[in-house]
A and B are shown apart, each in its own frame.
Chain A
Amino acid sequence: MDFHLSEEHRLIQETVRTFASTEILPIAAELDQQARFPKEIIQRASELGLLGMMVPPEYGGAGLDTISYLIAIEEIARACAGTAVILSVNNSLVCDPILRYGTEAQKRRYLPDLAQGRKLGCYCLTEPEAGSDAASIQTVAREEGDEWVLTGTKIFVTNGVEAEICIVYARSEPEPGARGISAFIVEKDRPGITVGKVERKLGIKASSTAEIHLEECRIPKENLLGRRGEGFRVALSTLDGGRLGIAAQAVGIARACLEESIAYARERRQFGQPIASFQAIRWWIADMATRIEAARLLMYRAASLRDRGRPYTKEASIAKLFASETAMWAAHKAVQIHGGYGYIQDYPAERHFRDAKITEIYEGTSEIQRLVIARHVLGVRS
């Protein structure tokens, strides 16, 4: 067992850290306050190869392993959690299923654009009546000649506004529940697909979250991703990888909380001494550091299983659960350490607090993660 990052891991960390601290961090507060999509940052990120990190070079990607990917997402999230999720979605939820389930033609057609930032992707699973219970989606795909015709409404779609390539899950088979679902690749410029309401959110405001409406949207047959009726499997296995991306985002947010808290606690003086000399503050900081370290190791462990082609569903859920709860806890403490200054927008603790919460919700709530973990640990199917 080797707990050292390799040379390439360290170089990727150094590169992305420099990118994040010099180009993202200075505008992170502005992106948050204006809820602005960081077009220029995504452009730069694509030049550096951060849009299709795990896509092999033959499809225009960088060919990184999962640990490298998580290192990169953590560094981006340290600066701006909203930017991190834009990248995480494109990498984990869009490139990854095309890479694993797509035909050769689909890979050649979509991956170079996605990996090189010419087109952004989004993942359309959740519906108003189907959140944690994703198998109950109602969007329908009807077969008509050489085409599939999709109708339904997807909500909470990250990158929904900017994305041009959508992975859409819809009910194509008569079987109820999970077995009736297929996955499709839908280009946003097809007639019948439109962006609906754009949500106003608590945090991660640099990324858009939107409704996607499909109204008799016709796509060619070859846009089916994976086999008919296997869409739910595509969705769940994709989410395993996605959860690692969110774990990395959470670790990045938690690290931001820790670093801001350390700096503040050292400088802020009360009762004639820096508040870092008070035991209550020290314990919180020690606990933050401990939990972050643990969360990072959990996600690296899951990533290492993934890179070896081993099952990692349980480990991904454990990492995501622990990392997201660490982020929320650390954000809570960071605001408390900052006192009144933690509550105002002049300091970043307030932004981290708002950003942290989503990590406990999306790509499977903490409750769903516990469900997944418990099933594995207890050895039961449901």
Chain B
Amino acid sequence: MEIVVCLKQIVDPEIPASEFRLDPVTKRQIRGSHALVISTYDENALEVALQLKEKQGGKVTAVTIGEEQATEALRKALAMGADSAVLISDPPLLEADDLGKARVLARAIRKLTTPDLILCGCESADWVSRIVGPFLAEELGLPCVTFGTRIEPRDGKIVVRRIVEDGYHLVEAALPAVVTIASDETNTPRLPKVRDIMAAVKKPITLLRMADLGIEPGSLKEMEGRIVLQDVAIPVREARCEFIEGDTPEEQAERLVLRLKELKVI
């Protein structure tokens, strides 16, 4: 099975809120000294792809749009077990909106391979828009299943376990298809072995420019014709925590119950 996994490199989303800063001009996070990582669910998507490869055979290609330093995310993907990696990099791409990114990814995927399956994280851990995956399906004219956690190949199709509000659906999809991946206990990303990290450093990464894909810079920000990002702000939280003290847990418990009763919430 030929599988393409779309990855995004972002500033570590686990940093505490107190260290989060915004650039007022670009309306983006200031990286500061924080680490760059693969966006959380993209790693789950890679894990699903690698498990499928182990079961079915085939090839996994990791693709990302990013700056030169995004090679590090691709190296990690290679170290985890991806067979090849593609970096699509060009300065105008930094400004691309979700539609622009989906177009670029679609062109790159068509140029590189004829995949059976394209996986994305269900959302990026920075902008959380959940758009690129379904957009990519539309660009490629493929069926789409979102928020899948497990994929079973069955009779030339796949069965996706899609998580929903009150459980899950088993959705059969014809191939090729685009699936966005959410996390569960079966797709916790593996840690690369240090030996594989060393091997990954020696593997080539394919670099694509916009010209290679026939993309015009003007086509990267079409969403702004409809919707414009006006402002990004850090919300002020004012709640000051009132600590319930006590010499014993029993005392703390009693005081808490009395306080909650006062507040009329129990």
Contact = CB atoms under 8 A, between A and B. Distances in A.
User: Does A pair with B?
Assistant: yes
A15 B71 contact: no
Among A6, A12, A53, A61: residue with most chain B CB under 10 A: A12
A14 B194 contact: no
Q: Lowest 6 A-B CB distances belong to which pairs?
A: A49-B194, A62-B195, A62-B194, A8-B201, A49-B195, A49-B193
A333 B171 CA distance: 58
A143 to B, nearest CB: 40
B106 interface: no
Contacts of A68: 194
Contacts of A12: 194, 197
A72 B201 contact: no
Interface stretch (B72-80, B123-131, B212-220): B72-80
Contact of B72 (A10, A50, A53, A64): A10
Contacts of A64: 194, 198
Given A7-B201, A11-B79, A14-B37, A48 B194 contact: yes
B193 A47 contact: yes
B265 interface: no
10 contacts: A7-B201, A10-B35, A10-B72, A11-B75, A11-B79, A15-B192, A15-B197, A48-B191, A49-B193, A53-B194
A18 interface: yes
Contacts of A19: 191
A57 interface: yes
Interface in A15-40: 15-16, 18-19
Nearest to B79: A11
A289 to B, nearest CB: 13
B198 A8 contact: yes
A7 B193 contact: no
Interface in B74-94: 75-76, 79
Interface residues of B, number: 16
A7 B75 contact: yes
A220 interface: no
A192 interface: no
Nearest to A60: B195
Contacts of B72: 7, 10-11
Contacts of A14: 35, 37, 76
Given A8-B198, A63-B195, 6 more contacts: A11-B79, A14-B76, A18-B191, A19-B191, A62-B198, A64-B194
A198 to B, nearest CB: 31
B193 A11 contact: no
B252 to A, nearest CB: 15
Chain A interface mostly: helix
Interface in B176-203: 191-195, 197-198, 200-201
Contacts of B191: 15, 18-19, 48
Interface string B58-80: 00000000000001100110010
Contacts of A72: 194
B193 A8 contact: no
Contact of B195 (A6, A16, A57): A57
B194 A15 contact: yes
Contacts of B198: 8, 57, 62-64
Interface in B129-186: none
A310 to B, nearest CB: 22
Contacts of A15: 79, 191-192, 194, 197
Contact of B194 (A6, A10, A50): A50
Nearest to B198: A63
A327 to B, nearest CB: 23
Interface in B27-46: 35, 37
Nearest to B80: A15
B149 to A, nearest CB: 20
A91 to B, nearest CB: 12
A50 B192 CA distance: 12
A40 to B, nearest CB: 15
Among B75, B191, B192: residue with most chain A CB under 10 A: B191
A11 B195 contact: no
Contacts of B194: 12, 15-16, 48-50, 53, 62, 64, 68, 72
Contacts of B201: 6-8
A333 B241 CA distance: 28
Nearest to A266: B18
Contacts of B35: 10, 14
A50 to B, nearest CB: 7
B66 to A, nearest CB: 14
Interface in A53-67: 53, 57, 61-64
Given A7-B71, A8-B201, A11-B79, A48 B193 contact: yes
A57 B197 CA distance: 12
A6 B72 CA distance: 10
Among B72, B75, B192, B195: residue with most chain A CB under 10 A: B195
Nearest to B188: A22
A372 B79 CA distance: 41
Contacts of B76: 11, 14
A62 B193 contact: yes
Interface in B203-245: none
A138 B221 CA distance: 78
Nearest to A69: B194
A6 B37 CA distance: 15
Nearest to B189: A18
Contacts of B195: 49, 57, 61-63
A72 B198 CA distance: 14
A26 B198 CA distance: 28
